[in-house]
Structure 1
Amino acid sequence: MVDERHDVVVIGAGFAGLYATHMLRQKGFTSVTLERGSDVGGTWYWNRYPGARCDIESLFYTYSWCEELNEEWNWSERYPAQAELLSYARAVADRYGLWDNIRLDTEVVSAVYQPDKAEWVTRTSSGSVIRSKYLVAATGCLSAARPVEWPGMQHFDGKVVRTSDWPEDGVDVSGMNVAVVGTGSSGIQVIPELARSASRLTVLQRTPNFSMPARNRPLLPAEVAAFRVESARIRESAKHHPSGYDTNVTGLNLVDQRPEDVQKELTRRWESGGSALVWAYADVLVDKRANEIAAKFIRDKIRAIVDDPAVADRLTPWDHALGTKRPCVDTNYYQTFNRPNVEVVDLRQEPISGFGARSVELAGRSIDLDVLVLATGFQAFTGSLDRMQIVGADRISLREKWEDGPKTFLGVAVSGFPNFFMITGPGSPSVFSNMMVSIEQHVEWIVDMIESLRDEGASAVMVSEEEEAKWVAHVDAVASQTLFAQHDSWYVRYGRSGNRVFMPYLGGVGEFRRLSDEVAGRGYKEFIRLRAPESISDLSVRS
C-alpha cells in the first residue's frame, strides 16, 4: 500500500481535470489527477460509439488558455467527432506536460475528510492511499451510465453494448439484427450509423425527442483563418454570453412577430444547422404559445422527411415542450427511418416483456436479436460522485447528504464537506452551456480561492448551510420562471421525500460568472474558515 501526500487530489482527467491539473501547477500546488479510464478525455474517451460527436462547433469547443496549440490545431469538421476530441485532449496533455501528474486506470473508491488533520484521505482501486488538503471532483455531468435491467435480460446470449462504454475495438454489426434502446442524443447519433450495416435495426423508443440537422461538413481554411483573427474577441464574448456560445439570439419575442417572419427565421436556422433554432427567440422556453409554434415547425419537418405517416407519428414529440428535454442535432436521423431495414417501436404501446436467447420479447410479438445497444442515458450530475464513497467532516456521505436532491453553492461547494470542490456540479450552468467555457470559469474560480486560502493561512474552508440553501432556492426560482418547471427530464432529480430539484442553473453563463465574481470580490464571505482541530458541530452554532 502506497501512502503519499499532495496539496490537491483531482478526480477525473477529462477536459475539466486537465485544466485543473495545469492551473494547480501554474499556481505552485502539488497535485495528482486520478482517472478511472485508460486515457485522458473523459466523456470523449468512453463514448466511442459510431457517430459520436459534440453538438458545439469545433472552433468554439476548445480551451481559451492554450492559443498557441489552437493556432496549430486543425479541426477537420464543423462539429468535432469523438476521435478528434480525444486527440485534442491528448495533445493538451502532451504540450503542457500534464502526464506526470495523471494516474490512469485508477478508480477512486473513497475519499474521507479527517477534521482533526484538516485533510482528505483518498483510497483507490489499486490500494494506494493519498492524503491531500483539497479534493477537486472533475468527474463530469454525464459520465455514469443509468443502470438498466429488464425482466429476463439474463437469458439473452447475444452481445450487449452501451454507447457510454463502447468497446475500443468497435462492434461489427454487418448482417446482424440490432436493437437500439433510447432516442436521446447518443441514440440519435448512433442509429443512422448502425442502420447502414445492420441487416435489421429496431429502435426501441420510449420518448421521441426533438432533433435538428447538424449540417455537419468539412471546415474551410478561410473560415478557420477568419476565426483565428477574431478568436480573442469571440472568446471574451463567450464568457458573458448566456450559453457561453454564440447561438445568435434575436432578443425578440416570437409571439410579437409576424408569422411569415417567424417561419422565415426558423427555416433559416433549420437550414443552417445546429440547435440555434431553439434559442432563436427569447420567449420560446418561457411562453407556451411561442414554444408550440417552434415545436410545430419541427414536427412539420419530421412529417415532411419521414415517408410513412405512421412512423412519422411515432417519431414526433408531443409530451414535452421543445427544449425542456435536451434538444439534439443529427445527421440524417429522421431519414434513416425511410430505410426498409429500420423499424421504430413505441415502448409505451409495446413494452419489453422479456428476452430470449436471441430475441427481445414485446407485448404480442418477438423480434430476432443479435446485438442489443443501450443508449439509455446517464445518472446526470451526481452519478459519478455516487459511485464513490465521499464522506464529509461529520461522517455523512455525499450520497446521504443528497438523498433529498443535490444541494450545492454555485455548483462548486457543499456544506459539511470542507476543502471539497466540484467543477460544473449541480447548481451551475454546466450542460446548458458550452462546457469548455464553464469548465474554465469553474477551474479558475476554484484555484483562485485555494490560492487565497493558502495566502491567508486557513486550514480549511466550508460553505455555510445558509448560503447553500439560498443558492439552491435561487436555482429553483430561476427554473420556475421557465417551461422546464412543467416537465420532467434528466435535468430533474426527485428526493427521498418526493421533493423536486432542478439541477442546472438557467440564469446563463454571464450572470453566473458575475455572481461568482461577486463572491470572490467579497473575500468568499459565504464560506466559514476552519482551523484544525475544530469540528463541524462547533461551527454549526456560529454559522
Structure 2
Amino acid sequence: MVTSPAPDTRDAIVVGAGFAGLYAVHVLRDDLGLDVLAFDAAGDVGGTWYWNRYPGARVDIESVHYSYSFDDDLQQEWHWSERFCAQPEILRYLEHVAERFDLRRSIRFRTRITSLTWDDAASLWTATTATGEAHRARYVISGAGTLSVPKKPEFPGIEDFAGEVYSTGHWPHEEVSFAGKRVGIVGVGSSGIQAISEIAKTAGHLTVLQRTPNYATPIGNHPTDPAQEAAEKAGYAAIRAASRNHFLGVPYSDAQPSALAVTPEERRRVFDDRWDRGGFRLFIDSFGDILFDRAANDTVAGYIRDRIHERVDDPAVADLLAPEGYPYGTKRPPLETDYYEAYNRPTVSLVDVRANPIDAVTPRGVRLADGTEHEFDILVLATGFDACTGPLLAMGVTGRDGLRLADHWADGPRTYLGLMASGFPNLFMITGPQSPSVLYNMPLAIEDHIDFTADALRHLRATGRDVVEPTAEAEDEWVAHTEELARATLLPDSPTSWYMGRNVPGKPRRVLVYLGGAPAYRARCDEVVARGYEGFRLSAGSDHPADDTADDTADHTADRTADRAVAQA
C-alpha cells in the first residue's frame, strides 16, 4: 500500500489540466484511489488549447485520432464536425471530458507551480505556488506539456511598442479585430502559418516578417462525412490498435520503401496523391527514407518548392517562401489552408528578415538592421516555444541533495525513457524530453505514459515500496541511445529545428525527441516492466536499496497487456 501521507499532504500532485493532466487525475484518482490534487495556471481545463486561441488554431492530426482512447463510450458519443478540428472544438471536447468524469473538483485553476522540492528524509515533494502556498505529495505527475512556454523574442523593445501586442501562445479570450489595421507578424512556424492565413482575410495590411521559410503542405480539411464517421466508430478498436503500431500514431499504411527506388513518374504520382490527401501523409506516408536519406529528402523538398511556385503569383515572393538549405521534416511540417494564396493579396507583404534582421521593436513598429522601419498598429508574435524542456524547467525543480533540474540538464535533457530523471524520485514527466512526444499522436502518447506511471505506482504498492527513480547508468544509456537514433536521421542537419533545441539562443543542443518510433518505444517500456522495472531503483521511504525486482512483475505485465487487448477488442 502507498505510504499514508502526513496531514496536509496528498498522494499525488498533477501539474496541468490539458490532455495529460485530465487523464492523470482520472487514472490516479478514480482507478488507483489516490488522493490527487491538480494545478493549472489557466482559468479552466484545456492546457494548450486553453491558451492557443489565435486565428486559425487547428489540430494537425485528424480529429478521430486526436482524442482519448481509454473509454469507448466517450469515443462513441463525441462527434467531430471537421476532419481537422479547430481550437474551440478541441476545447469543448476537453471541457466535456472534465464534466463527464467529474475532474474539476480535483483541480485548482489560476494557480501556477513555481517550485518543486524533494524532501529526502520524508520522501515527499513540496510544490510551492506563485502565491506562496505549499502542498506536499508523494508523487508529482507533470502534465505541463511540451509546447506551453513561449520562446522569448530575440529582439528588444517589445515593451516600447505603442500598439497592441499578441502572442499566438497566449492569445486573449476576447475577439481581436484586425479590420483596417496595419498588422505585423513575426514567425512562420505552424502557429504563424495558421494565423497568417486568417489574419490576411481581414487586416488592412499584413506584413509577414519571415526569417526561415517552412515546408508547409495542405491540411486537406473538410466537414466530417457521416458515413465515414459511422465506419470509424464501428471500427474504433482496430483504428486505435493500428495507430499505436504506427510511427506517428495514426493508421497510415501506404508508405513505399524508398523515393530513390522508383521512377520519377511514380515518385511524382505518390507525391501528388499524398499532397492531395493532405495531413501528414506526404511526410510520413509517402516514402520511408525521406527522414533518413538526404538524396531521398531532396526529391520531396524540390517537389514542395515547385508546388509553392505554382500557387504564388510573384516569382520573387515564391522564391522567398520556398525553403532551401535544410531537409524537409527536420522541423515539424506545418499544415496549411490557402497559406500561399494569402501572398497573392495586395494587402499582404513578405519581408525577408534573414537577409535584413530585426534590430528592435520601436514605439511605432519594427526597425530592421538597415534602418528601415515598418509601422504597425498590431504586432503578432508567432516566435515558437521553448519546447519540451522549458515547461519542466519553469517549475524550479530541485531533487536529491539540492540538485537542480536546470543544473542536471545544463548540457541538455537527461532522462530515462523520457519519463523520469536520475536524482528526481517520484517525478513523472508525461511526454517528457527524449520520449516520442511530439513525433507521436499526443493523446495516445499521453495515455501510454500515464498508464506506465499508474502501473509503476501499483507495483510499488504491491511490493511495499513508495519511491521509484532511474539509475544514473540507465539514464546515461537512454541519452546515448536517443542521440544515436538522431544521428541516423537528418534532424541534426537543420540549423533551426526545435527538435534539437536550436530555436532558442543559448539552449543546449541535444535531441528532444525519441526517433525510434512509438511502437519501438512502447516495446522497450514493456520490456523494462517485464524485467522487474529494469533501470529503476525501487525503495521504501528514505532507504534506497538496489533491489528493484518483485515476484509479481511478470503477472502484472501480463494483466496490463490483457487489459489493453480487451479494451481494443
Residue equivalent to 1:491: 499
Residue equivalent to 1:388: 395
CA distance in 1: counterparts of 2:236 and 2:538, whole angstroms:
40
SS in 2 for 1:202: strand
Residue 459 of structure 2 is aligned to residue 478 of structure 1: no
CA offset at residue 319 of structure 1? 1.9
CA offset at residue 249 of structure 1? 4.0
CA distance in 2: counterparts of 1:234 and 1:497, whole angstroms:
42
CA offset at residue 99 of structure 1? 1.2
Equivalent positions of 1:501-520 (< 5 A) are 501-520=510-529
Residue equivalent to 1:181: 186
SS in 1 for 2:245: coil
SS in 1 for 2:359: strand
Unaligned runs of 5+ in 1: none
- When normalised by structure 2's length, the TM-score is 0.92
Please, which of 35, 39, 61 is the counterpart of residue 40 of structure 2? 35
CA distance in 1: counterparts of 2:101 and 2:409, whole angstroms:
37
CA distance in 2: counterparts of 1:532 and 1:72, whole angstroms:
44
Residue equivalent to 1:159: 164
SS in 2 for 1:132: strand
CA distance in 2: counterparts of 1:250 and 1:498, whole angstroms:
35
CA offset at residue 241 of structure 1? 1.2
SS in 2 for 1:133: strand
CA offset at residue 22 of structure 1? 0.7
Residue equivalent to 1:330: 336
Residue equivalent to 1:18: 22
CA offset at residue 497 of structure 1? 11
Change (3 A) 1:498 1:13: closer
Q: Which amino acid aligns with 2:448?
A: Q
Residue equivalent to 1:531: 540
Does the CA contact (< 8 Å) of 2:492 and 2:500 recur in 1?
no
CA distance in 1: counterparts of 2:68 and 2:329, whole angstroms:
27
- The worse-fitting range, judged by mean Cα deviation, of 354-363 and 336-345 is 354-363
Identity %: 43
Residue equivalent to 1:168: 173
Does the CA contact (< 8 Å) of 1:49 and 1:190 recur in 2?
yes
Superimposed CA distance per residue, residues 113-169 of structure 1 (whole angstroms, 9 cap, x where no aligned partner): 101011111111233221111111111110000011523433311111100000000
- When normalised by structure 1's length, the TM-score is 0.96
CA offset at residue 487 of structure 1? 2.0
CA distance in 1: counterparts of 2:205 and 2:108, whole angstroms:
42
Does the CA contact (< 8 Å) of 1:248 and 1:276 recur in 2?
no
CA offset at residue 69 of structure 1? 1.9
Q: Which amino acid aligns with 1:432?
A: L
CA distance in 2: counterparts of 1:534 and 1:446, whole angstroms:
21
CA offset at residue 345 of structure 1? 0.7
Please, which of 433, 444, 454 is the counterpart of residue 461 of structure 2? 454
CA offset at residue 70 of structure 1? 2.1
Residue equivalent to 1:248: 253
CA offset at residue 368 of structure 1? 1.7
CA offset at residue 247 of structure 1? 3.2
Q: Which amino acid aligns with 1:439?
A: I
CA distance in 2: counterparts of 1:196 and 1:139, whole angstroms:
34
CA distance in 1: counterparts of 2:209 and 2:508, whole angstroms:
30
Residue equivalent to 2:278: 273
SS in 2 for 1:320: coil
Does the CA contact (< 8 Å) of 1:418 and 1:460 recur in 2?
yes
Residue equivalent to 2:88: 83
Equivalent positions of 1:86-235 (< 5 A) are 86-235=91-240
CA distance in 1: counterparts of 2:405 and 2:254, whole angstroms:
38
Does the CA contact (< 8 Å) of 1:408 and 1:468 recur in 2?
yes
Does the CA contact (< 8 Å) of 1:4 and 1:129 recur in 2?
no
CA distance in 2: counterparts of 1:249 and 1:420, whole angstroms:
39
CA distance in 2: counterparts of 1:388 and 1:62, whole angstroms:
27
CA offset at residue 66 of structure 1? 2.0
CA distance in 2: counterparts of 1:125 and 1:361, whole angstroms:
36
Residue equivalent to 2:4: none
CA distance in 2: counterparts of 1:62 and 1:355, whole angstroms:
40
Superimposed CA distance per residue, residues 312-353 of structure 1 (whole angstroms, 9 cap, x where no aligned partner): 011010021010011010010011000001011110222222
SS in 2 for 1:51: coil
CA offset at residue 366 of structure 1? 2.0
- The worse-fitting range, judged by mean Cα deviation, of 124-133 and 374-383 is 124-133
Residue equivalent to 2:372: 365
CA offset at residue 370 of structure 1? 0.5
CA distance in 2: counterparts of 1:498 and 1:269, whole angstroms:
35
Residue equivalent to 1:402: 409
Does the CA contact (< 8 Å) of 1:115 and 1:534 recur in 2?
no
Number of residues of Structure 1 aligned to a counterpart in Structure 2: 537
Residue 445 of structure 2 is aligned to residue 420 of structure 1: no
Unaligned runs of 5+ in 2: 1-6, 547-569
Residue equivalent to 1:4: 8
CA distance in 2: counterparts of 1:16 and 1:287, whole angstroms:
34
